Amino acid sequence: MRVFNFAAGPATLPLAVLEQVRDELTDWRGTGASVMEVSHRSKAFVAAAQEAEALLRELLAVPAGYQVLFMQGGARAQFAAIPLNLARADSTVDYLNTGIWSKLALAEARRFVATVNIAADEAASNYTSVPAAGALALSTGAAYVHYTPNETIGGVEFPYVPDSAGAPLVADMSSTLLSRPLAVSSFGLIYAGAQKNLGPAGLTLVIVRADLTGKARPGTPAVWDYQAVADDHSMLNTPPTFAWYVAGLVLRWLKAQGGLSVMGERNRAKAQLLYAAIDASGFYANPVAEKCRSWMNVPFTLADPALDAPFLAEARAAGLANLEGHRSVGGMRASLYNAMPLAGVAALVGFMKEFERRRG
């Protein structure tokens, strides 16, 4: 039985995509082989790769002058690739610290850049809010400003795009990309691990303004040099072909759903349904300031932590899987990425009410 899968990533994929993968697995588009068994330079694969890029550009309305790169190493490799490409060893860079992923990103930057300025730190709110738009302590001459639009563990999402005062704005969109329309032109660089809204793990997307490439510092490995990757159309080394192919199918599915405005409306409705249920109960709680609650990752706690284990077990028995919070924070977390239908959230809310009635 297929469950409603609330995992934070790798995460649920659209059923229609999985069925197509199954149907064409052993003979992919007349090649007589699976997509995993053909050359990344074959005509069939290059066509699929180009289609995925074209769909991504169309869905996000990526302006001309941006490179779209299909890389590996996850978002965490980008934590290092960004300073290597965009800053020198003696540069100053600005980081907004809004939670666990921001903190890991800035810790990695410290290995490559002399001055990592914390332009905002939400420690005082215990990482349950984002800085006020006017409250950023930006450095003059920063090589870039980095932030995490959606903190996957904390469930905190920026309701605005920060003003980086002319410095390139760099965004870790791992857990929010493709969840709604986006003004790509506001950013110097956007990156995301694929394994939430885009496809299987192993693929990492980078969208970078072309004037920011070609400046990698000496010593940067070629596979992490954006210009070198762009010059070889993301085939400098053998790309994760299966993940790239599945991402292409997910992008086709997104287009068929009506694109990112439709997804945005659906995602807003899903999140509202769950937050309303949490707020209406005295049993469940979400600590995040209302204006910056994530549409994608909803952490919540039960009034009595001793009920966590029965909650998870009974939820799983009801077909609601992977609701445990991140190992570093505990509690619960429901991730509501694009492929989670409203029916899944409705089923979760129904289960939560019923569990509270019986055990609360």
Using CB under 6 A, which of 35, 52, 56, 74 touches ligand PMP?
Answer: 74
User: Quick check: is 253 catalytic?
Assistant: no
Size of the site for ligand PMP (CB under 6 A): 11
User: Quick check: is 196 catalytic?
Assistant: yes
Taking the C-alpha atoms of residue 258 and residue 18, their distance in angstroms, rounded to an integer, is 19
Using CB under 6 A, which of 85, 128, 175, 241 touches ligand PMP?
Answer: 175
Residue appearing with tokens 């699929």: 48
Residue 212 near residue 189 (C-beta atoms within 8 A): yes
Using CB under 6 A, which of 108, 172, 225, 356 touches ligand PMP?
Answer: 172
Q: Could you please report the per-residue DSSP string of 214-245?
A: S-PPTT--GGG-HHHHHHTTT-SS---HHHHH
CB of 203 or CB of 352, closer to ligand PMP? 203
Strand partners, 145: 94, 169
CB of 140 or CB of 328, closer to ligand PMP? 328
- Pick out residues in 273-332 that bind ligand PMP (CB under 6 A): none
CB of 101 or CB of 253, closer to ligand PMP? 101
Greatest Cα pair distance, the chain, in angstroms, is 63
Q: Which runs of consecutive H residues, i.e. helices, occur in the chain? A: 15-23, 43-60, 74-86, 100-109, 226-231, 241-257, 260-280, 308-317, 342-359
Is 154 buried (19+), middle (13-18) or exposed (0-12) by CB count in 10 A? buried
- Pick out residues in 85-104 that bind ligand PMP (CB under 6 A): 101
Residue appearing with tokens 């959606």: 150
Considering the rule CB under 6 A, would residue 75 count as an interface residue with ligand PMP?
yes
Residue appearing with tokens 């997804």: 263
From 28, 94, 103, 196, the catalytic residue: 196
User: Quick check: is 270 catalytic?
Assistant: no
> What is the closest distance, in whole angstroms, from the C-beta atom of residue 134 to ligand PMP in the complex?
25
Taking the C-alpha atoms of residue 276 and residue 89, their distance in angstroms, rounded to an integer, is 48
> What is the closest distance, in whole angstroms, from the C-beta atom of residue 77 to ligand PMP in the complex?
7
Using CB under 6 A, which of 131, 155, 188, 193 touches ligand PMP?
Answer: 193
> What is the closest distance, in whole angstroms, from the C-beta atom of residue 247 to ligand PMP in the complex?
14
Taking the C-alpha atoms of residue 81 and residue 111, their distance in angstroms, rounded to an integer, is 11
> What is the closest distance, in whole angstroms, from the C-beta atom of residue 49 to ligand PMP in the complex?
20
Q: Is the peptide bond before 10 cis (omega within 30 degrees of 0)?
A: yes
Site string for ligand PMP, 130-169 (x = CB under 6 A): ------------------x---x-----------------
> What is the closest distance, in whole angstroms, from the C-beta atom of residue 352 to ligand PMP in the complex?
24
Chain residues in the site for ligand PMP (CB under 6 A): 9, 74-76, 101, 148, 152, 172, 174-175, 193
The residues annotated as belonging to the active site are 101, 172, 196
